[in-house]
């Protein structure tokens, strides 16, 4: 547990864009609400824009504690959220990911694009390097991560990706089941 978080802290990574169809925004809303209802702290990128804002507002609406970490250069671009409990403004993207990692007890990754994949792989590689020992959950809404997951299996089976690192990751299409696996 972290000093300025309550209960277990979950760092959520997700796309900045809304994606096609309503299911991605619904997932962001469900994730925020579920984290709050389970008494966990939501730790996230600190923006109000797009899915990030939906996630944070859903957690706040459900009475949850929300902590953001946003780079100075993104305060305007991602519309830093002013209604959350703490929003740390840090120097750059690297400092953001480091701070998010320090605050989190586990990572939950929702569908997203390049930025989300960068964050996912940094969480995995830092675990591989023993920089942290937290679990990483991929919420495969609508099977979004199915092909990535099968590619990762190929990498493991061919000896490129070590099993202990692999085992730190879970994937599920069901959020409640996934949270049980990573917490
Ligand atoms: P995306 O998944 O591309 O929609 O990006 C989601 C969020 O990831 C962005 O809003 C950024 O705040 C964050 N992000 C983290 N690392 C990067 C990166 N290397 N490039 C772009 N965005 C990043």
* Average pLDDT score, the chain: 95
Query: Using an 8 Å Cβ cutoff, are 64 and 38 in contact?
Result: no
Query: Measured from the CA of 122, which atom of ligand 1 is nearest?
Result: 16
Closest residue CA from atom 11 of ligand 1: 115
Domain coordinates of the chain in residue numbers?
A: 9-182
* Domain at 9-182: CATH code: 3.40.50.450
Would you place residue 3 in the very low, low, confident or very high pLDDT band (cuts 50, 70, 90)?
very low
Would you place residue 2 in the very low, low, confident or very high pLDDT band (cuts 50, 70, 90)?
very low
Separation of alpha carbons 44 and 178, rounded Å: 18
Which pLDDT tens digit goes with each residue over 62-83? 999 999 999 999 999 999 999 9
Ligand 1 pocket test: pick from 111, 115, 138, 141 the residue with the most ligand atoms within 8 Å of its Cβ. 115
What are the residues whose beta carbons fall under 8 Å from the beta carbon of 67, sequence distance 6 or more? Answer: 4, 5, 9, 41, 42, 43, 44, 84, 85, 86, 87, 88, 103
Which pLDDT tens digit goes with each residue over 21-54? 999 999 999 999 999 999 999 999 999 998 999 9
What are the residues whose beta carbons fall under 8 Å from the beta carbon of 109, sequence distance 6 or more? Answer: 12, 13, 14, 116, 119, 120, 123, 136, 137, 138, 139
pLDDT above 60: residue 148? yes
Query: Using an 8 Å Cβ cutoff, are 55 and 42 in contact?
Result: yes
156 lines ligand 1 (CB under 6 A): no
Token readout for 118 is 């960068």
């Amino acid at each position: 547990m972290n000093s300025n978080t309550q209960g277990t802290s979950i760092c959520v990574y997700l796309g900045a864009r809304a994606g096609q169809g309503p299911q991605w925004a619904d997932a962001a809303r469900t994730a925020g609400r579920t984290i709050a209802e389970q008494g966990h702290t939501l730790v996230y990128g600190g923006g109000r824009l797009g899915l990030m804002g939906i996630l944070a507002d859903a957690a706040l609406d459900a009475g949850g504690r929300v902590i953001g970490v946003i780079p100075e250069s993104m305060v305007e671009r991602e519309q830093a959220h002013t209604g959350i409990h703490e929003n740390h403004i840090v120097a750059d993207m690297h400092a953001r990911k480091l701070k998010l990692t320090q605050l989190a007890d586990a990572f939950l990754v929702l569908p997203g694009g390049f930025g989300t994949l960068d964050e996912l792989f940094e969480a995995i590689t830092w675990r591989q390097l023993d920089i942290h020992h937290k679990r990483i959950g991929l919420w495969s809404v609508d099977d979004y991560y199915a092909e990535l997951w099968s590619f990762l299996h190929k990498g493991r089976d061919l000896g490129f990706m070590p099993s202990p690192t692999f085992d730190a990751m879970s994937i599920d299409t069901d959020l409640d089941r996934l949270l049980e696996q990573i917490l």
